[in-house]
Copies of this chain bind each other. A is one copy, B any other.
């Protein structure tokens, strides 16, 4: 989950979404992949969330360290981050 900076624009968020949308096709360990902006139902929420499923820890690591993912993170997401919360879990 992310909070964007106060000056993050809708165009910058659209570029993030475009970048994320390409990742499942580019990284073959991704089993499911969902992302989106907060629906505005509750106060105090973060702004955006990404969820992804992998078969196992190694599948996640392939995604985490994949150049296509890193490019989206470094070029589009990281410059807009005011706050970030992350968990990896097994279920």
A positions within 8 Å CB-CB of B: 1, 34-39, 41-42, 44-49, 51, 57, 60-61, 64, 83, 85-91
Contact = CB atoms under 8 A, between A and B. Distances in A.
A20 to B, nearest CB: 12
A75 B38 CA distance: 27
17 contacts: A1-B86, A34-B91, A35-B91, A36-B87, A37-B89, A41-B60, A41-B61, A41-B88, A42-B88, A44-B86, A45-B88, A46-B86, A47-B87, A49-B87, A49-B89, A51-B51, A85-B85
- For the complex of A and B, list the 4 residue pairs with the smallest distance between their C-beta atoms, beginning with the closest: A36-B89, A85-B85, A49-B87, A39-B88
A64 B61 CA distance: 33
Given A41-B57, A57-B41, A60-B41, A46 B91 contact: no
Interface of A is mostly: loop
A86 to B, nearest CB: 5
